[in-house]
Amino acid sequence: MEINPLLLTKSGEFVAADCRITIDDYAVARHPELGIEIAREFDHPPTTLERIAYAVEQNDHRGTFYFAQLATTAPKESKGLVGFHGAGGGGSMMSMDAIVNAGFTIANFTDTSGNPSASKVYRAARIILAQPDLVGYFGSGSGVASQEQYWSAYGLAKAFWELDLDIPAVIRLGGNTEDRAVDILQRMSKLLRAPVEGYRKSDTPAFIAARFAELVADAKGAKWRPRSPRVPKFVKSSPATMLPVKTGCVWIDTLQWQQIRLVIEANSGGLILDRDGAPAAALSTEEFATKDSELLACDVECRLAGIEGFYLELDVPGVDELIGGGL
């Protein structure tokens, strides 16, 4: 708290003529009397997407997720609006400078760092891609993060497939297991309509920004139209098995179970097994519900293996309503 100026009246009383208070983000919940809706230092009233993103952060404290909208239109001299996804404050700033220097306008600032869950990265990507008219998706952070990069790659891969990404994406995931992360993105790119390229910490932000500009030019003016995620047809059908997880659920095609069982058991790391000829959780309901990131990885690996009978449904409340639920 800062009181400045502090006045002394002729009657000998002290009066605070002005006062400024700074509240730690994590203390806001303990002070509802302050009326702070979102514990973020925005220079504008929070947008609907910012409210949605803040709710995601409050419901999942594994790692951090920060989202702020910056621009909704690009000036005439710009090469277009870019969905920006960073990891780590300093590296994200460098990466934003690189993409701006390449001639683009940043639609948003997003940071997922501090070892975020794959589910949190997935939801961050869904929120970024709820913005219309993007010409591409640019992800780049510090390049020296100690977090396991493949979790972020899985989250991005799932979001890109579900939304049938048709604008180019360049993703720099530097740090632990970066080779595995790049491999995940490269394999998923083969199932998408637009290129997704993965890069490592040895690739500079300026280099990948230049490559991003080439891919956007090759796309010949394509712009993103927000859409609801595509969902396999068997989901929510009567023969499907449903297993709840944190803010979502796993769906398994019971009719195909015997044909797809071995692949699912392997890719789930033993979290799902056969019980009396049907899929079942290997853990208690409470413990299984916390394995959403591992099951997200299973979802992606099954997709890459051509298995259609496994799907992880993750809620992002408010997004589909915002975009109108249509293609």
For 191-237, how does the pLDDT look when each residue is reduced to its tens digit (9 = 90+)? 999 999 999 999 999 999 999 999 999 999 999 999 999 999 999 77
- Residue 183: is its pLDDT beyond 60? yes
1: which residues sit within 8 A by CB, 6+ positions away? 19, 20, 21, 22
Helix (H), strand (E), coil (C) string for the chain: CEECCEEECCCCCEEECCEECCCCHHHHHHCHHHCCCCCCCCCCCCCHHHHHHHHHHHHCCCCEEEEEECCCCCCCCCCCEEEEEECCHHHHHHHHHHHHHCCCEECEEEEEECCCCHHHHHHHHHHHCCCCCEEEEEEECCCCECCCHHHHHHHHHHHHHHCCCCCCEEEECCECCHHHHHHHHHHHHCCCCCCEEEECCCCCHHHHHHHHHHHHHHCCCCCCCCCCCCCCCCCCCCCEEEEEECCEEEEEEHHHHHHHHHHHHHHCCCCEEEECCEEEECCCHHHHCCCHHHHHHHHHHHHHCCCCCEEEEECCCCHHHHHCCCC
- Residue 325: is its pLDDT beyond 70? no
CB atoms within 10 A of CB 42: 11
Whole-number pLDDT of residue 26: 67
Whole-number pLDDT of residue 88: 83
Distance CA 327, CA 322 (A): 13
% the chain with pLDDT above 90: 75
Look at 115 and 20; give whichever has higher pLDDT. 115
Domain edges within the chain: 2-34, 48-218, 240-323
Give per-residue pLDDT as tens, 87-96: 987 889 999 9
CB atoms within 10 A of CB 32: 8
Look at 84 and 18; give whichever has higher pLDDT. 84
Bridge partners of 20, per DSSP, are 2
Tokens representing 196 are: 């997704």
Weakest mean pLDDT among 14-23, 26-35, 200-209, 282-291: 26-35
35: which residues sit within 8 A by CB, 6+ positions away? none
Contact status, residue 218 vs residue 166, Cβ threshold 8 Å:
no
* Residue 52 binned pLDDT confidence (cut-offs 50, 70, 90): very high
- Which CATH number is 48-218 given? 3.40.50.261
CB atoms within 10 A of CB 231: 12
Whole-number pLDDT of residue 314: 96
Give per-residue pLDDT as tens, 119-134: 999 999 999 999 999 9
* Residue 28 binned pLDDT confidence (cut-offs 50, 70, 90): confident
Distance CA 302, CA 38 (A): 38
Tokens representing 284 are: 């208690």
- Residue 326: is its pLDDT beyond 50? no
